[in-house]
Structure 1
Amino acid sequence: MAERKRLTAWDWTVAAYEALAEGGAAAVAVEPLAARLGTTKGSFYWHFPGRDALLEAALLHWERTETEEVIALVEAQPDVRARLRAVLAIALGEHEDRPTGAAVELALQPTAGHPLVAPVLARVTERRLTYLTALFGELGFPPEDARHRSLLAYTSYLGHAQLTHATPAAAPSGDALRRYVDAAIGTLTSA
């Protein structure tokens, strides 16, 4: 008999993150995840006290990888315009080698009021808007204008994510997406 791989809390977290992308918070269910991982519920309870702890771990993983790690990656760019372009390009999926968390974000929207989902969505949204506002501020826009432009950039991302999800053929891709990102940055940074 083949020996089963010993699962870790990380294995469960990654599986829950994938489930979030596929079906939102409701898709993070212990029995289906155990089946997906080829194990029993006992493995789950070895690592987590309950479903809410797993959902929270998956949400924190999304927050870290799709906000904090993206910001760290973008900060490596040489100047503010390059950082602004990079953050929008990553968010819109221009870098196909780096999957986006837009699927998770869209899947979470119907449960935005869930007691575990709501604070993470609020924290992620505010962190992203604050970061974008700082970038526009570095370009010389006054605080109120910088915040307004950050809202325009963020809602462009959300709209693009929805368009890509609902009608992928209508969303720009490849070279058209690169031109779209450049046009969006041009519009957002014009006086």
Structure 2
Amino acid sequence: MEQANTQRGSEAIWLEAAYEILTDSGVEAVKVMPLAKKLGLSRTSFYWHFKDRDALLEAMIQKWEEKNTGNLIARVEAYADTIVEAMFNLFDCWIDDTMFDADLDLAIRNWARNDPALHERLDNADKRRQNALYAMFIRFGYAETEARARAHTVMYTQIGYISMKIEEDRWTRIAAMPEYVKIYTGKQPTSADIERFMSRHRTSHRRPRLTNLGS
């Protein structure tokens, strides 16, 4: 049985190979033969795991829906005492790619331009994200019009950031986030807010010097 699995691969490795091709070259390049060649497996072994190419593509879309939209909404709805803490919760997604995969999000958006069915699913996902952000601002006392405008600002800025393929090192991104929180919420993060956020993402004893934005 172990030898057979080695010869056929696994669903996970086929998905990972498809993901790499999708994010590098677009959906048109995701085909069974190139995947098999990439993995050093036979073409027929693919069909032990997926009915056809469409089933593989559907699995990638579901992965995107669960990982990106699902995790984003979960972070927006996570417990927070203040809007600043809630925004920092969301910002975890922009730092931890196990929560939110920017490359996959961009690949799905590019793919959806020529796929009406996927475009509809993308629109629905964006509405879910947008509504969650709106509800977050409402939860912390913002008026409806302001909550909607702030939710749009957060969402459209991030989509633009992803689409432009902005590249920053980890600490440059983290160091800028207190200022983004202030811009998005109109509230100044305290030293305690910043330290709590930093402590979740500190990977070494060295960290950037952050300006105290509030007492």
Q: Distance in 2 between matches of 1:37 and 1:116?
A: 29
Contact 2:71 2:99 survives alignment (8 Å): no
Contact 1:16 1:28 survives alignment (8 Å): yes
Q: Which runs of 4+ in 1 moved over 6 A?
A: none
Where in structure 2 are the equivalents of 1:26-175 lying within 5 Å? 26-73=28-75, 75-79=77-81, 80-91=83-94, 94-95=95-96, 98=98, 100-113=100-113, 114-163=115-164, 165=165, 168=167, 171=168, 173-175=169-171
Question: Which residue in the other structure is 1:10 paired with?
Answer: 12
Q: SS at 1:46's partner residue?
A: coil
Moved more, 122-131 or 98-107: 98-107
Distance 1:90 1:118, change over 3 A: same
Question: Which residue in the other structure is 2:179 paired with?
Answer: 183
Residue type at the aligned position of 1:181:
M
Aligned length: 182
Alpha-carbon RMSD across the aligned residues, in angstroms, is: 2.6
More relative contact order in 1 or in 2 (CA 8 Å, sep 6+)? 1
How far is 1:13 from its partner?
2.5
Q: Distance in 2 between matches of 1:83 and 1:117?
A: 30
Residue type at the aligned position of 2:64:
W
Moved more, 180-189 or 103-112: 103-112
How far is 1:87 from its partner?
1.3
Identical amino acids, percent of aligned pairs:
30
Q: Distance in 2 between matches of 1:149 and 1:74?
A: 14
Contact 2:21 2:29 survives alignment (8 Å): yes
Distance 1:160 1:89, change over 3 A: farther
How far is 1:18 from its partner?
2.9
How far is 1:146 from its partner?
1.4
TM-score calculated relative to the size of structure 1 = 0.80
Q: Distance in 2 between matches of 1:10 and 1:181?
A: 34
How far is 1:30 from its partner?
1.1
Distance 1:25 1:49, change over 3 A: same
Gaps of 5+ in 2: 188-215
Moved more, 48-57 or 66-75: 66-75
Question: Which residue in the other structure is 2:192 paired with?
Answer: none
Residue type at the aligned position of 1:105:
D
Q: SS at 2:14's partner residue?
A: helix
